[in-house]
Amino acid sequence: MTETLNRVKTYQQFINGSWADSASGETIDVENPATGEVIAAVPSSGQADVDRAVEAAATAFESWSLTTPQTRSLALLKIADIMDANADELGRLESSQTGKPTGAAIDEMSVSSDLFRFFAGACRVPDGLAVTEYLEGHTSMVRRDPVGVVASIAPWNYPLYMAAWKLGPALATGNTVVLKPSARTPLSALRFAELVADELPAGVLNVLSGSGSAMGDMLVSHPKVRMVSITGDTVTGKHIAELAAGTVKRLHLELGGKAPVIVFDDADADLAAEIIKSAGYWNSGQDCTAACRVIAGPQIFDRFVSALSDQVRSIKWGNPADADDLDMGSLIAQAHADKVEGMVNRALEANAELVTGGTRPDRPGAYFEPTVIANPEQDSEIIQDEVFGPVVTVQRFSDEEQAVQWANDVRFGLASSVFTGSIGKAMRTARRLQFGTVWINEHFTLASETPHGGVKESGYGKDGSKYALEDYTVVKHITINTGV
Ligand code: NAD
């Protein structure tokens, strides 16, 4: 599926069980953001490629949708085993296109394979209404049928993990998929498809490597695509929702986040700081659930800021090629580092205080120093918009009411957390937080069984958990006239 041209590999797309260049013959370069070097080229998909992939998926749906849960489950279990067996290679490939530490990228593979295993099991135990007679002489039953061809559109921050969130429930329930990874990070999805190609009938999984701007609209508006599942920016999600309305497609939108972390005065400041060291800076803070917005109580504020800055200064970061066990690598691109730097500078110009970090190293690659900013205004850009970088802000609240009000006062609603020693305060606050997830004395723990997804402009639909099986199926009611 690949050939080596000018020292970098040129990949092909995976359509209907075989490998193909783009119909136009055009390619897109893929960079390693930790060095700025071009590491591969992939096909730049266009309308003809989209048409071929969607047609292949639509044809494959006719038979894949009629397979038994056992057949699909066994295929997913094999896929999980293949991921595990190739975790080192896939993780290193992931690291090379995202700039994330290799150890972390390799660890993402076992989390991803577990999603396939979870959905392999979950699809065999569907639940629902009992079959019964709601009208005399009529027996009613409810089926959950697959939706059809699903366009699965993934972001660059966890390329294969996000793909697994989508592929697991979609394939387990009998849908067929056209997967579009981010054009910045298509390599792991293409290699994954190559590794698992023999486990799925042709056309059940197709992978197109084109950019969202060049071919995204074609995929989303294709009349034979019945559902679009996108994980990405809220602006992209809104655009896709508008396009999908044209053919009334089902949508699954996992969009941006701006997670608040309320640290009450009775919290363990050291525990909160230790958890935020990981949850705020993991993947260079390029995480929709990143613990990026701390709202701390008046008594604990100074102690917490001091503990957090100690933790942040201990973060080991740099080029993933230098060591496997770094805490943080590069950001995804120079342009993204520019964006992060701009937001930090504007926050400081607006009188927020720099506690630690705030600079970019003078070397190739898209790096930004782990940063803590204190006392930004609630209505400032750095509080209201996604930074998506290694930057955590800390605000000082005056009372519980203000803490909750500030936490909710953003347009996003994906994830949040509360640190407190009081179970009553934790549960009271969790109830009032308008976010899809609330962690208590914790942040950023997920399992395949737990639902992940947002409210407000973070979108709708759940990844992981049995709720994802609902998202990827449609309810069909059948009534039989039994006579008497
Ligand atoms: P992005 O919106 O730029 O791109 C996401 C995907 O959408 C990519 O594959 C891209 O090519 C595609 N795309 C772009 N325009 C398109 C179009 N017109 N039609 C179809 N597809 C199109 O997002 P990103 O920069 O890759 O990822 C970062 C964003 O993702 C952040 O906002 C982050 O919060 C969000 N995110 C959310 C979750 C979640 O679970 N809610 C998880 C990870 C990332």
Quote the CA–CA distance of 333 and 35 in Å, as a whole number: 10
Quote the CA–CA distance of 80 and 67 in Å, as a whole number: 19
Angle at 98 between CA 94 and CA 103, to 5 degrees: 55
Task: State how beta strands 176-180 and 455-456 pair.
Answer: unpaired
**Residue 103 CB contacts under 8 Å (≥ 6 apart), including other chains:** 324, 325, 326
What confidence score (pLDDT) does residue 445 get? 96
What confidence score (pLDDT) does residue 433 get? 98
The per-residue pLDDT string of the chain (484 residues; one tens digit each, 9 = 90 and over) reads: 455 445 699 999 999 999 999 999 999 999 999 999 999 999 999 999 999 999 999 999 999 999 999 999 999 999 999 999 999 999 999 999 999 999 999 999 999 999 999 999 999 999 989 999 999 999 999 999 999 999 999 999 999 999 999 999 999 999 999 999 999 999 999 999 999 999 999 999 999 999 999 999 999 999 999 999 999 999 999 999 999 999 999 999 999 999 999 999 999 999 999 999 999 999 999 999 999 999 999 999 999 999 999 999 999 999 999 998 899 999 999 999 999 999 999 999 999 999 999 999 998 999 999 999 999 999 999 999 999 999 999 999 999 999 999 999 999 999 999 999 999 999 999 999 999 999 999 999 999 999 999 999 999 999 999 999 999 999 999 999 999 7
Q: In what order do the strands lie in the sheet with 149-153?
A: 18-20, 13-15, 205-207, 176-180, 149-153, 225-231, 250-254, 459-460
Residue nearest to ligand 1 atom 6, measured at CA? 155
Quote the CA–CA distance of 106 and 164 in Å, as a whole number: 14
* 260: helix, strand or coil: strand
**Phi, psi of 62, rounded to the nearest 5 degrees:** -60, -35
Q: Are 308 and 372 in contact (CB under 8 A)?
A: yes
180 lines ligand 1 (CB under 6 A): yes
Residue (of 480, 483, 470) closest to 119 by Cα position: 470
Structure tokens at 398: 């005056």
288 lines ligand 1 (CB under 6 A): yes
* 191: helix, strand or coil: helix
Quote the CA–CA distance of 86 and 239 in Å, as a whole number: 36
What confidence score (pLDDT) does residue 5 get? 47
Q: Can you tell me which residue has the tokens 């996003």?
A: 412
Q: Are 76 and 83 in contact (CB under 8 A)?
A: no
Quote the CA–CA distance of 393 and 371 in Å, as a whole number: 9
Residues composing the chain:
484
Residue (of 157, 74, 151, 152) closest to 116 by Cα position: 74
**Phi, psi of 451, rounded to the nearest 5 degrees:** -75, 135
What confidence score (pLDDT) does residue 371 get? 98
Quote the CA–CA distance of 255 and 236 in Å, as a whole number: 8
Distance 256 CA to ligand 1 centre (A): 8
Structure tokens at 303: 């102690």
Q: Are 131 and 138 in contact (CB under 8 A)?
A: no
Residue nearest to ligand 1 atom 35, measured at CA? 232
Best residue among 156, 236, 332 to mutate for probing ligand 1, ranked by most atoms within 8 Å of CB: 236
* Beta bridge mates, 326: none
Best residue among 157, 187, 412 to mutate for probing ligand 1, ranked by most atoms within 8 Å of CB: 157
Provide the annotated active-site residues: 254, 288
What confidence score (pLDDT) does residue 6 get? 55
231 lines ligand 1 (CB under 6 A): yes
What confidence score (pLDDT) does residue 146 get? 98
* 79: helix, strand or coil: helix
State which ligand 1 atom lies nearest to the alpha carbon of 452. 40
Residue (of 189, 235, 228) closest to 213 by Cα position: 235
Best residue among 178, 233, 243, 282 to mutate for probing ligand 1, ranked by most atoms within 8 Å of CB: 233
239 lines ligand 1 (CB under 6 A): yes
Q: Are 175 and 228 in contact (CB under 8 A)?
A: no
Distance 475 CA to ligand 1 centre (A): 28
State which ligand 1 atom lies nearest to the alpha carbon of 458. 41
Instruction: Give, in order, the Cα–Cα distances in Å from 260 to each of 220, 328, 414.
Output: 32, 21, 10
